[in-house]
A = this chain, B = another copy of it.
Amino acid sequence: MTYSVSISIDAMGGALAPNCVVEAISVAQKLYKDVKFNVFGDSGVLSNLFAKYCINPSSCEIIHTTSVILDTDSPVRALRHLTDSSMRRAIESVKNGYADACISAGNTGVLFMMSRQILGTLKHIKRPVISGVFPNKKGKCVFLDMGANIEFNANSMFQSAVMGASFAKAVLGIENPKIGILNVGEEKGKGRSVESEVFDILKSSGLDFVGFVEGNDIAAGIADVVVTDGFSGNLVLKAIEGTARMILDMVKDTFKSTLLARLAAFLLRKQLRERFMQLDPNHNNGAMLIGINGIVVKSHGGANPSGFLNAIKVARSLAKDNVNSHIIEELEILESRGIGLDMLDKIKHTSAKIFGFDK
């Protein structure tokens, strides 16, 4: 049997690992016959779980590792000492060509630093980012950076925009993605100096730039790619998730509150399932670390089996689409037009000077 995609999975990362991860793999194995799974973790534990979930070993290989990276581990400790961790070995398998992509629900900071160290970055890219896909009124949008770069400047935000647009084209199939910069107002001059600088750069980039968008424009679907720094992006991402969870819980409570409500819920079960499923963070689970020279997908640490399954789906589709080749193509087009990222390095950015991040 030959497989068209090989995916490595860190089975030990995340709050519900390894049980939840193996359960997800058992479903994925049935759905995606073209995928070979390389499952990294404690072989004793994994063998038992494979038996429990009736996993067919022909397309699922267990690769024994001796350590696990915890959420409390610092990147420094993890990079220096945890060399036989399930996360590291999964990333290394992408580096040495054994896998086309890897997935982890473990420590985000470590996954990011480790991927960067082991796999390096794509040509032209200095600061990879974590991107996510959000539901909006018109469909879906790419949101980035979700937390990789707490420090940033106009150049790194422009890189994010380019990577986000390439991702939207490759993964969401949007031909000319509309790019928006997240800001506190739509008018030029609003926000910090870095937003004004990125505005000017994007305006002259030839990309489809719709200008500044506000927090409420994300859900409204004004832009297909919404760009901000990693600090703001992470706050916004979690605020959206928290709000969605709170409201969905309220909807559920309402439908359980009386006998009549239960009847109503029964009448509406189909519509409710269809409409609300897309709001469940598990349904949109699977964030790509864009800009890394290899496909690395971050699953939410608290994802349930159906959430982790979605991350597998994302990784498979990114690998089959060969997403990084598309991103590189897009970057090369920009370079050839003289509006690429290398050129920007030569410009002195005020914000970079102010914030002291430019090196």
Contacts and interface: CB of A to CB of B under 8 A. Distances in A.
Contacts of A55: none
Interface stretch (A112-120, A241-249, A303-311, A319-327): A241-249
B187 A72 contact: yes
Interface string A214-230: 11111110000000101
Interface in A214-273: 214-220, 228, 230-232, 234-251, 253-255, 257-258, 260-261, 263-265, 267-268, 271-272
A115 B257 CA distance: 46
Nearest to A236: B239
Contacts of A287: none
Main secondary structure of the interface of A (DSSP, over half): helix
Contacts of A272: 254
A354 to B, nearest CB: 6
A237 B239 CA distance: 9
A198 to B, nearest CB: 14
A111 B255 CA distance: 43
Interface string A124-160: 0000000000001100000000010011000000000
A268 B261 contact: yes
A235 B238 contact: no
Contact of A235 (B147, B182, B257, B275): B182
A260 B219 CA distance: 28
A191 interface: yes
Given A260-B267, A261-B268, A215 B231 contact: no
B261 A245 contact: no
A356 interface: yes
Interface in A41-91: 72
A355 interface: yes
A279 B247 contact: yes
A348 interface: no
Contacts of A240: 215, 239-240, 243
23 contacts: A147-B184, A182-B235, A184-B234, A184-B235, A191-B231, A215-B239, A215-B240, A218-B242, A219-B239, A219-B242, A219-B245, A219-B246, A231-B232, A236-B239, A239-B243, A240-B240, A244-B247, A250-B275, A253-B275, A254-B272, A261-B267, A264-B267, A354-B356
Interface of A: 72, 136-137, 147, 150-151, 182, 184, 187, 191-192, 214-220, 228, 230-232, 234-251, 253-255, 257-258, 260-261, 263-265, 267-268, 271-272, 275-276, 279, 354-356
Q: Which 9 A-B pairs have the closest CB atoms?
A: A215-B238, A216-B242, A264-B264, A215-B239, A219-B242, A219-B246, A184-B234, A216-B238, A243-B243
Given A217-B242, A261-B267, A264-B268, 11 more contacts: A72-B187, A192-B231, A214-B234, A215-B236, A215-B238, A216-B239, A216-B245, A228-B235, A240-B243, A243-B247, A254-B268
